[in-house]
Chains A and B, each alone.
Chain A
Amino acid sequence: MADIKITVIDREGLKHELEAPTDMNLNLMELCKASELPVLGTCGGMALCSTCHVYVKSDHELPEMSEDEEAILDQAFFVEDDESRLGCQLHLSDDMDGLVVELAPDGA
């Protein structure tokens, strides 16, 4: 399949339309970093730091949260139960085409 489109709303409310390949095993945190968005991804994707915390704004069916992701979100701040995910745990796949996410505030 061709690249998928993902919209990331930054902390100033600006929309960034990103195109991403799904055959490179990228996750959303990596895509944001590669697109120069202000996402730290401090722990490198081990679901450890919550600096890639995002709110999912579209109604896509996303993979279930792992124990690790739930545990870290439980300790994160600014969590919205129905929307919060860790970007690093969202591996880009074809069914995420059109996904809209918003970056959670700093202060993880």
Chain B
Amino acid sequence: MVETDILIVGAGPCGLFTVFEAGLIKLRCHLVDALPMPGGQLTEIYPKKPIYDIPGFPEILAGDLVDNLMKQIEPFKPGFTLGERAETIEKMEDGRYKLTTSRGTEHAAPVIAIAGGLGCFEPRKPPITNIADFEDKGVEYIIRDPEFYRDKKVVIAGGGDSALDWTIFLANVASEVSLVHRRTSFRGALDSVEKVMELAEAGKINLITDAQIVGLNGDDNLSEVVIKHKTEGEMSKTCDHFVPLFGLSPKLGPLADWGLNITKNAIDVDTLDYSTNVEGIYAIGDINNYEGKMKLILCGFHEATIMVQSAFKYIYPDAKLSFKYTTVNGVQGFEKAKA
């Protein structure tokens, strides 16, 4: 079990800077993020975009800001659990929280700081009324192991790179592959588009364009999809699997079930210290909500700074905390990472 003082959910800029402010008052931090790299959106979505409103930086690339933050927090030896989504929390007998990730990694800390930004990126689910009934019974939103589809009849939907790439790959694995796309043109890489066209002409896949999946049928497991064509109307197609590949969309994810008060996809906090309605759990940065909230990195930095003071008092109710400027005191890091 990973043990720390503040367990930070989300390794974006706000989560990273929390490590610095916590470190100044001798609190250790460990970060958990569903993405494989620290930096959150800045790394994942816009590393090469300039940001103009970081105080003291007239212009800085998002990726560089993340690199700088990593350097700034290095003295405080933060721990990382990356590529794993924070799934569940439970309060332990000693009053600390136990947080378990999607891969089962367990963490324990008295304080949890949620710095989850937009939330987790999850596959978009097409609006088919009974789709939830067939999840893992023939409907998969992510292809984990292509062998799973060997000698099966597969219908893929979507027009982007992943739909094209998997159609090409599964053409040699599955017994039958059909690609259904809403339009006739595809937006994926040109050579993938050409390859798909070739496979279709050679009769190795079924290419069904100007069409969408509008229904799913089956007793327990999926047995057919209903395809609605723009001009030819509805037809059904027998299949074992339906794989909709419509990209990712940010969702609040499992932390929506942690008992926190949530308004419009954001966690309500008290601006006194950015605490949530649950004792020992704070929310900072883009994921929180309060009157006058500005979703800016610089506001997240401020929130992190205020929040760790409150976390300190929560962890050590009897200890006195004296405030010191870094200009006076320097940055006194930790010698070693926590074992």
CB of A43 within 8 A of CB of B250, answer: yes
Which of B118, B246, B286, B295 is within 8 Å of A75, CB to CB? B246
- The answer to whether B68 has its CB under 8 Å from any CB of chain A is no
Would you give the shortest CB distance from A43 to chain B, in whole angstroms? 6
CB of A48 within 8 A of CB of B45, answer: yes
Would you give the shortest CB distance from A72 to chain B, in whole angstroms? 8
Which of A44, A70, A74, A77 is within 8 Å of B126, CB to CB? A77
- The answer to whether B46 has its CB under 8 Å from any CB of chain A is yes
Inter-chain CA distance A74–B160, complex, in Å, is 8
- The answer to whether A89 has its CB under 8 Å from any CB of chain B is no
Q: Which residues of A contact B46 (CB under 8 A)?
A: 46
Residues of chain B from 248 to 292 with CB closer than 8 A to chain A in the complex: 249-250, 264-265, 286
- The answer to whether A29 has its CB under 8 Å from any CB of chain B is no
Contacts A74-B187, A75-B247 known; A43 to B118 CB distance under 8 Å? yes
Contacts A40-B264, A46-B45 known; A79 to B182 CB distance under 8 Å? yes
Residues of chain A from 45 to 99 with CB closer than 8 A to chain B in the complex: 46, 48-50, 70-72, 74-79, 81
CB of A74 within 8 A of CB of B159, answer: yes
Inter-chain CA distance A43–B250, complex, in Å, is 8
Inter-chain CA distance A105–B159, complex, in Å, is 21
CB of A42 within 8 A of CB of B182, answer: no
Q: Which residue of A lies closest to B161 (CB)?
A: A71
CB of A70 within 8 A of CB of B187, answer: yes
Residues of chain A from 2 to 60 with CB closer than 8 A to chain B in the complex: 40, 42-44, 46, 48-50
Q: Which residues of B contact A105 (CB under 8 A)?
A: 127
Label chain A's interface by main secondary structure: loop
Inter-chain CA distance A42–B287, complex, in Å, is 10
Inter-chain CA distance A72–B127, complex, in Å, is 16
Contacts A43-B250, A46-B46 known; A78 to B127 CB distance under 8 Å? yes
Inter-chain CA distance A37–B11, complex, in Å, is 32
Q: Which residues of A contact B126 (CB under 8 A)?
A: 77
Would you give the shortest CB distance from A94 to chain B, in whole angstroms? 26
Inter-chain CA distance A72–B158, complex, in Å, is 12
CB of A49 within 8 A of CB of B249, answer: yes
Q: Which residues of B contact A76 (CB under 8 A)?
A: 124, 246
Q: Which residues of B contact A44 (CB under 8 A)?
A: 286, 295
Inter-chain CA distance A77–B247, complex, in Å, is 11
Q: Which residues of A contact B265 (CB under 8 A)?
A: 40, 42
Inter-chain CA distance A50–B264, complex, in Å, is 16
Residues of chain B from 45 to 62 with CB closer than 8 A to chain A in the complex: 45-46
- The answer to whether B183 has its CB under 8 Å from any CB of chain A is yes
Q: Which residues of A contact B247 (CB under 8 A)?
A: 72, 75
Would you give the shortest CB distance from B39 to chain A, in whole angstroms? 15
Inter-chain CA distance A50–B125, complex, in Å, is 13
Please name 9 further chain A to chain B contacts, defined as beta carbons within 8 Å, in addition to the given A42-B250, A71-B187, sorted by A numbering. A44-B286, A71-B160, A75-B124, A75-B246, A75-B247, A76-B246, A77-B246, A81-B183, A105-B127
Q: What are some 24 contacts across the A-B interface (CB < 8 A)?
A: A40-B264, A40-B265, A42-B249, A42-B250, A42-B265, A43-B118, A43-B250, A44-B286, A44-B295, A48-B250, A49-B250, A74-B160, A74-B182, A74-B183, A75-B160, A75-B247, A76-B246, A77-B126, A79-B182, A81-B183, A105-B127, A107-B125, A108-B124, A108-B249
